[in-house]
Chain A
Amino acid sequence: MSVTSGASVTERDLRLDFFRGAALFSIFIDHLPNNILAEFTLQSVMFSDAAEVFILISGYTAGMVYGRAIERQGFLVAAVRVYHRVWQLYVAHVFLFMMFMAMMAYTAGALNNSLYAEEFGAANFLNEPGLAVVKALILQFQPAFMDILPLYIVLLAVLPLVLTGFRYCPWLMFLVSFALWLAVQFDHRVALSAYPGPDRVWYFNPFAWQALFLLGAWLGWRGIRGGVSWRNQRWLFWLAAGVALAAFLIRFNWTLRSFYNPIPVLVSGEPLWPFASKANLGPLRFANVLALALLVARLIHPKARFLASHAAWPFAVCGRNSLHIFCLGILLSVLGHLVLNEFFGGIPMQFAVSAAGVAIMVGVAALMEWFGAAQAASGGTALGAPTASRGARG
């Protein structure tokens, strides 16, 4: 297994790595076009999906790691560490954008000479490449797949402020955060504008999603101070179980219906949609992911045997290297798109592309850990950071 220093082994919560890894695989699989395997991820049985899991765990990890950094190294050093991480995310975003632009440049010519020219003409951003590049640099241009990193960047950028707030007036933080989230639910115009306009906005509304990240960060921050007392309330557990069960019954019924139409509808989707918006983190999604998190926290021990087993290893190894594997996953989704659209081949091909992608993700993560361990053993630093702290970063 991976090589980590003694201190971080005792502190490590294996659940975080495992579920973050699972979310990373799921994001990749859900992003492939017409992928039958996407019917077997969280989104087919719950209102929330991998995006919520990813942001909640990222918030939790960030709160834990940087909260600890504030205590040990002081606010200034911790803040610099956060912004170093923000910078890494930004560079990753720009890198992905370059890949995207290359693909666009390649396909745009083909599109203009196709029978879709008239219909998709408005999508041809290469008419003004200069502006598109600038808009990408200021995070306003978020083509398909490039929407979650900008969200993560802005959320992490306000983290030092949030952690300071937790220290002095946590209730004010929650009040502001909740008010913002609520404002978005009532008025969709509370959003960040995006390119190309005029009415396009950030796909993941940061004013809504901050509530989940902030809650995660608070739980992580409290976690290093002995956790929260109300977590073990009996009624809360049953409430969470009830919410998760209800979500499962309603959502899974819809999924089954999409496969076999004669199955009757348990609960019609129509009145629920306004509360299940992904872009604005609707209350159903929010409640659903919190219920799941609570169930996991209560039912699975941080050091559960399964989490350290061989079967869990591919998930954990990717979860430990989440930034790199996330970017790789996005890149692989785009490549997978090209492959699936170019060669078709139905379900076997979808399996092939999904398996190949996951294999590459696991392979690269394993390579990074191996290299990190080798560097650490020879006294150097691995890929910019020592293994033990690299794995734990947000």
Chain B
Amino acid sequence: MTPVFLRYAIALIAAAGIGLLSAAVEAFGQEGECSVPERFYASEPQLNNTIKAFAGGEVVIAVLGGASTLGRAAGGSDRAWPARLSSALAERLPSARVKVVNLAVAGQTAKEAVKRLDRDVVPLKPTLVIWETGTMEAVRGTDVDEFREAMKAGIDELRAAGAEVVLMNVQFSRETDAMIHFGPYLSAMRELAEANDVPVFRRRGIMRHWAESGALDLRAKEGEKRRQVATKLYDCIGRAMGDFVTRGVPAAKPAASRSDR
């Protein structure tokens, strides 16, 4: 028994060691800017109507979401990512008249968001609705099918009202990962989006990438430092979202330089 066991143990320990070494090597030489690798966007469908609307006329972007979209951690709604998206788009498309409306409510579930659509969202006649959702469901452990049905109902209603939809998934956080079952809700969103041809802004993966590459220190604890990190995070998300929704806009040259390759 011993030699067999030893052989396996040595092989596995060697594999672990090689992995650790290459991980250490990989950690060198990473830059501190919050750019987003192309792989996060590449497979997502483009927003054809919105792209057309950017070329002329007025574009209304409505944003649904929870606490992280509301932006209180950064100190105010002008620092929330929808506000930063608005500035990013103004910078990128100076000729377009884009209005971003932040309708986020802290702690709102997908089901609750759907109930608000006909009253708060549809009257705005949005060209695009960005819907950040799934956090409360994961925190509360809501039935996954119920979450999926709510998202589907929301997407159908918004599309019927003539809007395009982008979904945004949960934030990345080291602290909660081992405590909350995000997996089923993340896959539910991904599967539903794929089946309905809805692009997903993969915030969780993108934030993880930033934390990994050292672009953002998401562990900042003290009040002021924390606010600074949140401000930078929301700015990065807003600009990344600007890149995301303008993919395919003919004049959008800067998009290429912002990718990390």
Measured CB to CB, the residues of A under 8 A from B are 1-2, 33-34, 103-104, 107, 110-111, 113-120, 122-123, 143-145, 188, 194, 199-201, 203, 257-258, 261, 268-270, 273-274, 277-279, 310, 313-314, 334, 337-338, 341-346, 348-353, 355-356, 358-359, 362-363, 366, 369-370
User: What is the interface of chain A mostly: helix, strand, loop, or mixed?
Assistant: helix
Query: Is B173 within 8 A of A120, CB to CB?
Result: yes
Query: Is B12 within 8 A of A188, CB to CB?
Result: no
Q: Which residues of A contact B12 (CB under 8 A)?
A: 355-356, 358-359, 362
Report if B93 contacts A (CB, 8 A).
no
Measured CB to CB, the residues of B under 8 A from A are 1, 4-5, 8-9, 12-13, 15-24, 26-27, 42-43, 66-68, 72-74, 106-107, 135-136, 139-146, 148, 171, 173-181, 184, 190-192, 194-196, 208, 211-212, 218-222, 226, 229-230, 233
Q: Which residues of A contact B22 (CB under 8 A)?
A: 348
Tell me, in angstroms, the Cα distance from A274 to B26 when the chains sit together. 42
Tell me, in angstroms, the Cα distance from A23 to B176 when the chains sit together. 26
Q: Which residues of B contact A188 (CB under 8 A)?
A: 143, 145-146
**Which residue of the partner chain B has the closest CB to A123?**
B139
Which single member of B23, B135, B142 contacts A346 (CB below 8 Å)? B23
Query: Is A352 within 8 A of B13, CB to CB?
Result: no
Tell me, in angstroms, the Cα distance from A355 to B4 when the chains sit together. 17
Q: Which residues of B contact A34 (CB under 8 A)?
A: 208
Query: Is B13 within 8 A of A200, CB to CB?
Result: no
Q: Which residues of A contact B220 (CB under 8 A)?
A: 114-115
**Which residue of the partner chain A has the closest CB to B141?**
A200
Minimum C-beta distance from B64 to chain A (A): 15
Query: Is B180 within 8 A of A123, CB to CB?
Result: yes
Tell me, in angstroms, the Cα distance from A17 to B16 when the chains sit together. 25
Q: Which residues of A contact B27 (CB under 8 A)?
A: 344-345
Query: Is B26 within 8 A of A345, CB to CB?
Result: yes
Q: Which residues of A contact B142 (CB under 8 A)?
A: 199-200
- Contacts known (A344-B211, A362-B12); A116 close to B176, Cβ less than 8 A: yes
Tell me, in angstroms, the Cα distance from A261 to B41 when the chains sit together. 12
Tell me, in angstroms, the Cα distance from A111 to B177 when the chains sit together. 11
Q: Which residues of A contact B68 (CB under 8 A)?
A: 116, 119
Minimum C-beta distance from A150 to chain B (A): 14
Q: Which residues of B contact A144 (CB under 8 A)?
A: 178-181
Which single member of B1, B24, B73, B141 contacts A115 (CB below 8 Å)? B73
Query: Is A366 within 8 A of B230, CB to CB?
Result: no
Number of A-B pairs whose CB atoms are under 8 Å?
184
Query: Is B139 within 8 A of A120, CB to CB?
Result: yes
Query: Is B67 within 8 A of A119, CB to CB?
Result: yes
Tell me, in angstroms, the Cα distance from A103 to B174 when the chains sit together. 12
Q: Which residues of A contact B211 (CB under 8 A)?
A: 344
Q: Which residues of B contact A358 (CB under 8 A)?
A: 12
Identify which of A115, A120, A341, A350 gathers the most chain B CB atoms within 10 Å of its CB: A115
Q: Which residues of A contact B67 (CB under 8 A)?
A: 118-119
Q: Which residues of B contact A366 (CB under 8 A)?
A: 1, 5
Which single member of A1, A115, A274, A352 contacts B226 (CB below 8 Å)? A115
Q: Which residues of B contact A33 (CB under 8 A)?
A: 177
Minimum C-beta distance from B37 to chain A (A): 12
Which single member of A200, A257, A342 contacts B140 (CB below 8 Å)? A200
| A and B contact pairs by CB, cutoff 8 A, 13 listed | A117-B73, A118-B73, A119-B135, A144-B180, A188-B146, A201-B141, A203-B141, A310-B4, A337-B177, A346-B23, A352-B18, A359-B13, A366-B5
**Which residue of the partner chain A has the closest CB to B25?**
A348
Query: Is A268 within 8 A of B195, CB to CB?
Result: yes
- Other than the given A279-B143, A352-B20, A356-B12, 15 more pairs (CB < 8 A) read A115-B226, A118-B106, A120-B175, A123-B180, A188-B143, A199-B140, A273-B148, A277-B144, A313-B4, A313-B8, A345-B26, A349-B19, A362-B12, A366-B5, A369-B1
- Contacts known (A1-B1, A107-B175); A363 close to B9, Cβ less than 8 A: yes
Minimum C-beta distance from A37 to chain B (A): 11
Query: Is B178 within 8 A of A103, CB to CB?
Result: yes
Tell me, in angstroms, the Cα distance from A351 to B221 when the chains sit together. 31
Q: Which residues of B contact A103 (CB under 8 A)?
A: 178-179
Q: Which residues of A contact B221 (CB under 8 A)?
A: 110, 113-114
Tell me, in angstroms, the Cα distance from A203 to B143 when the chains sit together. 9
**Which residue of the partner chain B has the closest CB to A344?**
B212
Tell me, in angstroms, the Cα distance from A200 to B180 when the chains sit together. 13
Minimum C-beta distance from B254 to chain A (A): 25
Query: Is B176 within 8 A of A111, CB to CB?
Result: yes
Q: Which residues of B contact A279 (CB under 8 A)?
A: 143-144, 184
Query: Is A359 within 8 A of B139, CB to CB?
Result: no
Query: Is A348 within 8 A of B143, CB to CB?
Result: no
Q: Which residues of A contact B173 (CB under 8 A)?
A: 111, 114, 116, 120
Which single member of A104, A115, A362 contacts B9 (CB below 8 Å)? A362
Q: Which residues of B contact A341 (CB under 8 A)?
A: 174, 177-178
Tell me, in angstroms, the Cα distance from A258 to B191 when the chains sit together. 10
Tell me, in angstroms, the Cα distance from A123 to B140 when the chains sit together. 8
- Contacts known (A277-B145, A346-B23); A352 close to B176, Cβ less than 8 A: no
Give 5 closest A-B pairs by Cβ, nearest first.
A352-B19, A345-B23, A359-B12, A261-B43, A341-B174
**Which residue of the partner chain A has the closest CB to B142?**
A199
Tell me, in angstroms, the Cα distance from A144 to B178 when the chains sit together. 7
Q: Which residues of B contact A359 (CB under 8 A)?
A: 8-9, 12-13, 16
Minimum C-beta distance from A140 to chain B (A): 12
Query: Is B66 within 8 A of A348, CB to CB?
Result: no
Identify which of A117, A123, A313, A363 gathers the most chain B CB atoms within 10 Å of its CB: A123
Query: Is B1 within 8 A of A278, CB to CB?
Result: no
Query: Is B23 within 8 A of A348, CB to CB?
Result: yes
